[in-house]
């Protein structure tokens, strides 16, 4: 069976501090903006949402980055592909940015100015108390590291305990020496997460920097969708599927409006709190250009949730990239079975997809034959079938098959966008109030919205 890495992190933290556009700074400046310590909110993991929490929510709407051309729901997200040597993808803005954040050849020297800046008019001595003493390189006694929870794409995640707030946290530890790209990916994740404030996106509370490691402190979230589905085999309660899908789309829609792609949407990266709150986690790949094929510990990254355009070698990434994974996850929640469980390689994965959806042609998907990976001798030729043919369970749900179809379009141009998917008739049974919530308010604050007990289908 496949391995589950539950990267546990999440939460509702409200991070104060100046709003910083996450593309104008080099990595050291980023870190400087990520205020250490002391901003972990009181524990809200009990999932009892009171009226008063809703009242405090910040009503200010973020600027909307939607493309002016409303016909294209998948904004080309090229600003996000900033760090790339492939300059044909980059406009001038981005080329500028690439200069600012060139990938460091070696991990930065421990005494990087950020942390020991003598000229700083506001000495930050107090803030470092959490590291044990004045030096940021002391033993960090603010957090106690407990057992490992899993391997991320460039780090190890541990369960931890905060001595500041006396609550559990998740510690994502990046070893600075070991891999050239890691600190870089880490800083990209940090700077993205600092800007993304939404109840369906994991919250970064703190960063601890020592000589050997960079540690991100996230709120601890109990489980992830992969483990949740394993615990309730045979498919989830349809009402819960709807709530999980709604939250996933709500988080993605927020990202996509800000022109951020997640790029690794899979059940292990969707954290689930005790009351059923779903949080997108592991934004490590969010702005990297190539999608890695191996994790830090050389486990193979699963291809099950990768869209056919990426599998065929397309680099024209847009928000549609994330939407394919959403479709795969929806079908998996309904049926309890992975939608396209490829076992060997890219071509095996494509074979699984085409067997069901048909092999694309120039007629059905203009331009498909020009992808580097389009090799007819390696691809079987199949006629398209109905999704319900393989997954009859989809017919048990009103609009279940139609929404699955909208996500699982081979041609990325035809895939439904997150915002549009939230308006799909499949969600008609949900209260309209869910559509008016402020970004940082949980859907479970709305009356009558709660997780249902899963049917216990024991296939033992």
Check residues 355 and 93 and name the one with the higher pLDDT. Answer: 355
Comparing 146-150, 196-200, 237-241, the range with the smallest average pLDDT is 146-150
The pair of structure tokens assigned to 30 is 């980023």
DSSP state for residue 54 in the 8-state scheme: H
Q: What is the pLDDT of residue 152?
A: 65
Number of domains in the chain: 1
| Residue 125 placed within a domain | no
Render the burial of 17-34: b for 16+ CB within 10 Å, e for the rest. eeebebbebebeebbbbb
| Residue 237 placed within a domain | yes
Query: Could you give the CA distance from residue 202 to residue 207 in angstroms, rounded to a whole number?
Result: 14
| Residue 233 placed within a domain | yes
Share of the chain above pLDDT 90, in %: 47
* Selected catalytic residue, list 206, 224, 264, 322: 264
| Residue 75 placed within a domain | no
Is 264 assigned a catalytic role? yes
The pair of structure tokens assigned to 28 is 């050291």
DSSP state for residue 358 in the 8-state scheme: -
Q: Pairing mode, if any, of strands 204-209 and 213-219?
A: antiparallel
| Residue 182 placed within a domain | no
Render the burial of 314-323: b for 16+ CB within 10 Å, e for the rest. bbebbbbbbb
Q: What is the pLDDT of residue 31?
A: 38
| Residue 358 placed within a domain | yes
Query: Could you give the CA distance from residue 111 to residue 407 in angstroms, rounded to a whole number?
Result: 48
Helix, strand and coil in the chain, % to nearest 5: 35, 10, 55
Residue 172 marked in a binding site: yes
Residue ranges making up the domain that contains 342: 223-445
- 292 pLDDT tier (thresholds 50, 70, 90): low
Query: Could you give the CA distance from residue 148 to residue 388 in angstroms, rounded to a whole number?
Result: 40
Query: Each residue of 320-340: pLDDT tens digit?
Result: 999 999 999 999 999 999 999
Give the orientation angle of helix 400-407 with respect to helix 320-335, to 10 degrees.
150
Query: Each residue of 34-46: pLDDT tens digit?
Result: 333 334 444 444 4
- 408 pLDDT tier (thresholds 50, 70, 90): very high
The pair of structure tokens assigned to 392 is 């009859």
Task: Please give the average per-residue pLDDT across 149-154, as a whole number.
Answer: 73
Residue 370 sits in a domain whose CATH number is: 1.10.510.10
Comparing 110-124, 321-335, 360-374, the range with the smallest average pLDDT is 110-124
Most confident segment among 147-151, 174-178, 417-421: 417-421
| Residue 206 placed within a domain | no
Under a CB-based contact definition with an 8 Å cutoff, are residues 149 and 170 in contact? yes
Q: Is the pLDDT of residue 193 over 60?
A: yes
Collapse the DSSP code of 294 into the 3-class scheme (helix H, G, I; strand E, B; otherwise coil) and give the result. Answer: strand
Query: Each residue of 67-76: pLDDT tens digit?
Result: 344 445 554 4
Query: Each residue of 239-253: pLDDT tens digit?
Result: 999 999 999 999 999
Phi and psi at 159, nearest 5°, equal -75, 145
DSSP state for residue 201 in the 8-state scheme: B
| Residue 290 placed within a domain | yes
Query: Could you give the CA distance from residue 336 to residue 410 in angstroms, rounded to a whole number?
Result: 22
């Amino acid at each position: 069976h496949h391995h589950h890495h539950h990267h546990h992190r999440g939460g509702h933290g409200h991070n104060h501090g100046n709003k910083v556009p996450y593309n104008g700074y080099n990595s050291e400046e980023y870190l400087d903006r990520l205020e250490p310590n002391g901003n972990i909110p009181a524990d809200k993991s009990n999932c009892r949402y009171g009226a008063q929490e809703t009242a405090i929510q910040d009503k200010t709407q973020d600027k909307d980055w939607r493309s002016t051309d409303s016909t294209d729901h998948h904004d080309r997200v090229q600003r996000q592909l900033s760090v790339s040597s492939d300059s044909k993808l980059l406009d001038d803005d981005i080329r500028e940015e690439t200069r600012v954040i060139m990938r460091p050849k070696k991990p930065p020297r421990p005494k990087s100015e950020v942390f020991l800046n003598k000229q700083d008019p506001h000495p930050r001595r107090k803030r470092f108390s959490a590291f044990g003493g004045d030096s940021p390189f002391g033993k960090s006694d603010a957090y106690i590291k407990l057992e490992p929870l899993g391997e991320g794409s460039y780090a190890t995640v541990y369960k931890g305990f905060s001595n500041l707030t006396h609550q559990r946290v998740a510690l994502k530890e990046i070893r600075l020496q070991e891999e050239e790209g890691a600190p870089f990916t880490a800083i990209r994740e940090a700077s993205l997460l600092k800007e993304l404030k939404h109840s369906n996106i994991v919250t970064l509370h703190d960063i601890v920097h020592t000589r050997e490691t960079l540690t991100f402190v996230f709120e601890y979230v109990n489980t992830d969708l992969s483990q949740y589905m394993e615990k309730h085999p045979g498919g989830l309660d349809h009402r819960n599927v709807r709530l999980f899908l709604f939250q996933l789309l709500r988080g993605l829609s927020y990202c996509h409006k800000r022109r951020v792609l997640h790029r690794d949407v899979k059940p292990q990266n969707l954290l689930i709190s005790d009351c059923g709150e779903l949080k997108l986690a592991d934004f490590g790949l969010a702005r990297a250009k190539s999608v890695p094929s191996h994790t830090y510990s050389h486990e193979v990254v699963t291809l099950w949730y990768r869209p056919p355009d990426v599998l065929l070698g397309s680099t024209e990434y847009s928000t549609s990239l994330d939407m394919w994974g959403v479709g795969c996850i929806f079908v998996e929640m309904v049926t309890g079975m992975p939608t396209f469980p490829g076992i060997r390689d890219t071509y095996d994965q494509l074979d699984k997809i085409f067997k069901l959806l048909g092999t694309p042609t120039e007629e059905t998907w203009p331009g498909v034959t020009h992808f580097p990976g389009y090799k007819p001798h390696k691809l079987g030729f199949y006629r398209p079938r109905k999704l319900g043919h393989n997954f009859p369970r989809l017919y048990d749900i009103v609009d279940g098959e139609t929404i699955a179809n909208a996500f699982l379009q081979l041609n990325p141009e035809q895939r439904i966008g997150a915002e549009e998917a939230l308006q799909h008739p499949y969600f008609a049974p949900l209260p309209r109030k869910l559509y008016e919530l402020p970004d940082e308010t949980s859907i479970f604050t709305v009356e009558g919205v709660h997780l249902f007990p899963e049917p216990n289908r024991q296939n033992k």
